[in-house]
Chain A
Amino acid sequence: MSQVCTGSSGAGGVRRSMGHLSDRTTMLTCAVLVSAAVLVVGLNLLPSDHALHVGDATVSLLGKYFCYMLLALAVDLIWGYLGILSLGHGAFFALGGYAMGLYLNAQGTNIDGWQAWLGHFPLMALAVVLAPGLLALVFGWLAFRSRVTGVYFSIITQAMTFALMLAFNRNEMGVGGSTGLTRFSELLGMPLNSHAMTVALFVASVLAVLLAFVICRMMTTSRLGRVCIATRDAEARTRFLGYRVEHVKLAVFVVSAVMAGIAGALYVPQVGIINPGSFAPLFSIEVVVWVALGGRATLFGALIGALVVNWLKTVLTTEMPDAWLFMLGGLFVVVTMALPQGIAGLAASMRRQKGGAVHE
């Protein structure tokens, strides 16, 4: 009888039953992301009277979309692969955003006390990671340890972000009350509204999405990813196999929260404001519909969903503002009832029908 291997010491190559396909997905997604970024930056460099010129405002808008895509990735990681529906991811996004907002606020002004500390870039970067990360760690530790799952978890995450919204609305918090933080001037010594800064922030957002996508991909295709799926589908059985389900959940939850925080930090300088509205339960739940529309547990679906819904939102809220909420509400209903696998699932089934090569 052969010896039992311990996974980490194994020197064997990467085995994949779905091997080449998953790698193709990664490469394709990365290629699309990079070429989109190059295209946007290239078009931005064209003279401003050129027909294909993309203005700075559009670059900022696209940068914002990329931040939302990062947030959607974070939600898909925890919801798609672990089946944990967090209705409070906006809180992590907003915490990252506030850390950045406080940093920007402290630039070129004399602010005393704890806020002055955030005026240093490394400390801000630390806060962007730690604030959402620690909140997720404590919250998740409490929740997963006592096996709060399913709808209950969703409800208490919603309560969490609601409580934070109330807290950040208070002027006594010293973070701008209900108006939030705004009127930022510069970042790393460069004016925020400068052309170079706009492009730099856009590129940073794209790179963040790229990096996060690769990390998520690594996680979900590793054995850990399969443990996540096992947990999602049969939690008790996974526990019975000896996996510490709550540790897995906690780890993924924290990673997801940190991703959301970074998304928020990149979002703030491009939009120029952060206010308690980001803590609103509505925003968090909106993120979920991006992922649902794009397709759960596919990662690239989350990217598509975030892009499509936010583009629709931009168009509709300017063209016919009344229609937007009807549209969003309708999306929720239609996606959950008619498109449970989202756009990604639709595409997959169409491809299968076309190719005729059904493996199952």
Chain B
Amino acid sequence: MSRRAIRDLWRAGIVLVLVMMVPVMMALPGVVHAGDQISDEQARTLLEGLDASGFEAKGEAVERVAASTASQRERWLQALLEGRLARERRGDHFYIITDDGGREWPIIDAITLEDVGTGSRRTINTITINNTLRTQIEGALAAMSLTAGDVKARLAAARALVGTVDAISVARVEDTLAEEESLAVREQLETALALHRVQQGDVDALETLRGHLDTRVRNTLVPLAEGDGELASEARGVLAGIERKREWHQRVQTLFFGLSAGSILVLAAIGLAITFGVMGVINMAHGELIMLGAYSAWWLQQLLPGQPGLALILAIPFGFLVAAAFGIAIERSVIRFLKGRPLETLLATFGVSLILQQLVRTVFSPLNRAVASPEWLRGSWQVTEALSISYSRLAVLIFCLVVFAALWAVMRFTRLGLEVRAVTQNRDMARAMGVRAARVDMLTFGLGAGVAGLAGVALSQITNVGPNLGQNYIVDSFLVVVFGGVGNLWGTLVAGMTLGVLNQVLQPWVGAVLAKIVVLVGVILFIQKRPQGLFPPRGRVS
């Protein structure tokens, strides 16, 4: 490999990686808050109230705790709710059990919150509660969060209030609403109040609930809508509106799922679109190059324990290079000797894929490995009650689009891209004009392989990493490329997204497996109808 060749490949790689770093560079710092202190003596008194005999007395004690300024009050109530607040059998220490599996429970002091060893059924007594008390504690905890400083916590608390507001707490909620500044929190509180009022028979309050997607709203309205009267008929109207809106949101959700599933297909296929579509090389080992990319991500994570985010970011260039190196090795050692014999290339590269699979099995393990997701890829963004977008899926979608854009830019604007297009269109002419076709082949293949590696890195966030990872994608990838029209990057994008969405749309009707079968058969039939794919290549000079 010449020096210039290496430089070109590096450049292509760097362009790809740089562009892809941007969306990854987002990490959110956490927020910590603290309350005022009270004395240990006051704290003990409060706790003793909770251990009073009789649930009514306990209920009063809960109110006292909630009204106090003790910094530990949330821990106490939470522990009480979960049956993990305990009192020493012989003495008046209070403990919180941190793990109640097994016989010896690790405990901490309820007041100092320090680790004090273990306790068991013989040494400590857990404080019991009943259902009424449970509801009360939940309400108190929610109300406590409502007045806490953090908007996030207040929002969560307000959300928890929906459907639980009763005659006792309504006044408190109204007070909080008057003081609340955050619009999102206000909205939740208003919903909670409106729901309460509707239950009391207030028809006007229904207006507030119109188009509200919360399942609790629906659950409350469904019994009200049965029967006659103004309230019932109004409620029916509101419910119908909610249903329509929910369906619409679910359609958006399906579209999103489809696009993210499609972007996985596109990622897996886009490298093939280059090696197969542009170069005409059938690389059955493409799936294994994806697998190698995924293993690169896994391996880096083993090297950098406890830093999944950093490992993932580093895995992007690393996975690219590992897969590209393997790809170039395959091109140099096998593919270039089989030029112009596509069926033989197919068989030989399939052999390579078997060897790579077994290599991974022997070197690592035949078992699947899980790659941890960094903090900022976990969880999801709850757009509305019926529409939630998980960060990992969103990240894959963005990653796919970025990779696509980068690849397109490489093909469009770099010297390598120009030479690739020249060689594709007229090999002899390009050679006559001084393009070293063999070198271009090698680099193009390296690029396609590297992109397969990137797909593997992305896949490691979606699914487990194992030796068979690649096999699951090879059939799909080829279909996507053929469906989109060979030699056409845009076609691959459109085809992958289309198949992804189609799959998701079909799934609720026929189930996941059958949906996949239907899509496969559909594509097979489509190819019969239009062997050139969605976007047939324009007349090629040869």
Chain A residues at the B interface, C-beta cutoff of 8 Å: 83, 85, 142-143, 145-148, 150-152, 154-156, 158-160, 162-163, 166-167, 169-170, 281-282, 285, 288-289, 292, 322, 325-326, 328-333, 335-337, 340
- When the two chains form their complex, are residues A325 and B520 in contact, meaning their CB atoms are under 8 A apart? no
- When the two chains form their complex, are residues B350 and A332 in contact, meaning their CB atoms are under 8 A apart? yes
- When the two chains form their complex, are residues A152 and B350 in contact, meaning their CB atoms are under 8 A apart? no
Q: What are the residues of chain A within 8 A of B527 when measuring CB–CB? A: 148, 152, 156
Q: How far is the CA of A328 from the CA of B356 in the complex (A)?
A: 12
- When the two chains form their complex, are residues A146 and B358 in contact, meaning their CB atoms are under 8 A apart? no
CB distance from B288 to the nearest CB of A (A): 10
- When the two chains form their complex, are residues B520 and A151 in contact, meaning their CB atoms are under 8 A apart? no
- When the two chains form their complex, are residues B353 and A333 in contact, meaning their CB atoms are under 8 A apart? no
CB distance from A177 to the nearest CB of B (A): 11
Output the nearest chain B residue to A292 by Cβ-Cβ distance.
B347
B113 within 8 A of A: no
- When the two chains form their complex, are residues B513 and A325 in contact, meaning their CB atoms are under 8 A apart? no
- When the two chains form their complex, are residues B348 and A333 in contact, meaning their CB atoms are under 8 A apart? yes
Q: List 24 A-B contacts (CB under 8 A).
A: A85-B343, A85-B346, A142-B528, A148-B527, A151-B342, A152-B527, A152-B531, A155-B479, A156-B479, A156-B528, A159-B520, A160-B524, A162-B475, A162-B520, A163-B516, A163-B517, A163-B520, A163-B521, A163-B524, A170-B513, A329-B350, A330-B351, A333-B355, A337-B338
Q: What are the residues of chain A within 8 A of B529 when measuring CB–CB? A: 146
B76 within 8 A of A: no
Q: 19 other contacts beyond A156-B528, A322-B362, A333-B352, with CB at 8 A cut-off?
A: A142-B525, A145-B528, A158-B475, A160-B520, A163-B520, A163-B521, A166-B513, A281-B471, A285-B350, A289-B347, A325-B354, A325-B357, A329-B355, A329-B358, A333-B348, A333-B351, A336-B338, A336-B347, A337-B338
CB distance from B320 to the nearest CB of A (A): 24
Dominant SS among interface residues on chain B: helix
CB distance from B236 to the nearest CB of A (A): 38
Q: What are the residues of chain A within 8 A of B355 when measuring CB–CB? A: 325-326, 329-330, 333
Q: What are the residues of chain B within 8 A of A288 when measuring CB–CB? A: 347
B245 within 8 A of A: no
- Count A/B pairs, Cβ under 8 Å: 118
- When the two chains form their complex, are residues A151 and B528 in contact, meaning their CB atoms are under 8 A apart? no
B523 within 8 A of A: yes
Output the nearest chain B residue to A154 by Cβ-Cβ distance.
B346
B413 within 8 A of A: no
Q: How far is the CA of A335 from the CA of B345 in the complex (A)?
A: 11
Q: What are the residues of chain A within 8 A of B362 when measuring CB–CB? A: 322
Q: What are the residues of chain B within 8 A of A158 when measuring CB–CB? A: 475, 478
CB distance from A317 to the nearest CB of B (A): 12
- When the two chains form their complex, are residues B354 and A337 in contact, meaning their CB atoms are under 8 A apart? no
Chain B residues at the A interface, C-beta cutoff of 8 Å: 282, 334, 337-338, 342-348, 350-359, 361-362, 471, 474-475, 478-479, 482, 513-514, 516-517, 520-521, 523-525, 527-529, 531
Output the nearest chain B residue to A144 by Cβ-Cβ distance.
B528
- When the two chains form their complex, are residues B482 and A152 in contact, meaning their CB atoms are under 8 A apart? yes
CB distance from B343 to the nearest CB of A (A): 5
With A163-B517, A325-B354, A328-B354 as known contacts, state yes or no: A147 contacts B531, CB within 8 Å.
yes
- When the two chains form their complex, are residues A322 and B347 in contact, meaning their CB atoms are under 8 A apart? no
CB distance from A246 to the nearest CB of B (A): 12
CB distance from B114 to the nearest CB of A (A): 54
Q: What are the residues of chain A within 8 A of B475 when measuring CB–CB? A: 158-159, 162, 281
Q: How far is the CA of A189 from the CA of B450 in the complex (A)?
A: 60
Q: What are the residues of chain B within 8 A of A155 when measuring CB–CB? A: 478-479, 482
Most buried by B among A163, A166, A169, A332: A332
Q: How far is the CA of A335 from the CA of B351 in the complex (A)?
A: 10
Q: What are the residues of chain A within 8 A of B474 when measuring CB–CB? A: 281
Q: What are the residues of chain A within 8 A of B347 when measuring CB–CB? A: 285, 288-289, 292, 332, 335-336
Output the nearest chain A residue to B518 by Cβ-Cβ distance.
A163
Most buried by A among B351, B362, B475, B513: B351
- When the two chains form their complex, are residues A329 and B478 in contact, meaning their CB atoms are under 8 A apart? no
- When the two chains form their complex, are residues B351 and A159 in contact, meaning their CB atoms are under 8 A apart? no
Output the nearest chain A residue to B351 by Cβ-Cβ distance.
A332
- When the two chains form their complex, are residues A336 and B348 in contact, meaning their CB atoms are under 8 A apart? yes
Q: What are the residues of chain B within 8 A of A150 when measuring CB–CB? A: 342-343
- When the two chains form their complex, are residues A166 and B338 in contact, meaning their CB atoms are under 8 A apart? no
Output the nearest chain B residue to A147 by Cβ-Cβ distance.
B531
Q: What are the residues of chain A within 8 A of B482 when measuring CB–CB? A: 152, 155-156
Output the nearest chain A residue to B333 by Cβ-Cβ distance.
A333
CB distance from B491 to the nearest CB of A (A): 15
Q: How far is the CA of A325 from the CA of B350 in the complex (A)?
A: 11
Q: What are the residues of chain A within 8 A of B353 when measuring CB–CB? A: 329
- When the two chains form their complex, are residues B342 and A146 in contact, meaning their CB atoms are under 8 A apart? no
CB distance from A140 to the nearest CB of B (A): 10
Complex partner residue of A146 from B346, B354, B356, B528, CB under 8 angstroms: B528
CB distance from A150 to the nearest CB of B (A): 6
Q: What are the residues of chain A within 8 A of B346 when measuring CB–CB? A: 85, 151, 154
Q: What are the residues of chain A within 8 A of B516 when measuring CB–CB? A: 163, 166
Output the nearest chain A residue to B342 by Cβ-Cβ distance.
A151
Q: What are the residues of chain B within 8 A of A166 when measuring CB–CB? A: 513, 516-517, 520
Output the nearest chain B residue to A139 by Cβ-Cβ distance.
B524
CB distance from B137 to the nearest CB of A (A): 46
Q: What are the residues of chain B within 8 A of A148 when measuring CB–CB? A: 527-528, 531
Q: How far is the CA of A268 from the CA of B95 in the complex (A)?
A: 67
Q: What are the residues of chain B within 8 A of A333 when measuring CB–CB? A: 334, 348, 351-352, 355
CB distance from B359 to the nearest CB of A (A): 8
Q: What are the residues of chain A within 8 A of B338 when measuring CB–CB? A: 336-337
CB distance from B92 to the nearest CB of A (A): 61
Output the nearest chain A residue to B515 by Cβ-Cβ distance.
A166
- When the two chains form their complex, are residues A322 and B282 in contact, meaning their CB atoms are under 8 A apart? no
- When the two chains form their complex, are residues B524 and A156 in contact, meaning their CB atoms are under 8 A apart? yes
Q: How far is the CA of A335 from the CA of B344 in the complex (A)?
A: 9
CB distance from B98 to the nearest CB of A (A): 43
CB distance from A122 to the nearest CB of B (A): 31
CB distance from A161 to the nearest CB of B (A): 9
CB distance from B373 to the nearest CB of A (A): 28
- When the two chains form their complex, are residues B351 and A328 in contact, meaning their CB atoms are under 8 A apart? yes
Q: What are the residues of chain B within 8 A of A142 when measuring CB–CB? A: 525, 528
Complex partner residue of B352 from A85, A163, A322, A329, CB under 8 angstroms: A329
Q: What are the residues of chain A within 8 A of B337 when measuring CB–CB? A: 337
Q: What are the residues of chain B within 8 A of A322 when measuring CB–CB? A: 358, 361-362
CB distance from A264 to the nearest CB of B (A): 21
Q: How far is the CA of A159 from the CA of B524 in the complex (A)?
A: 8
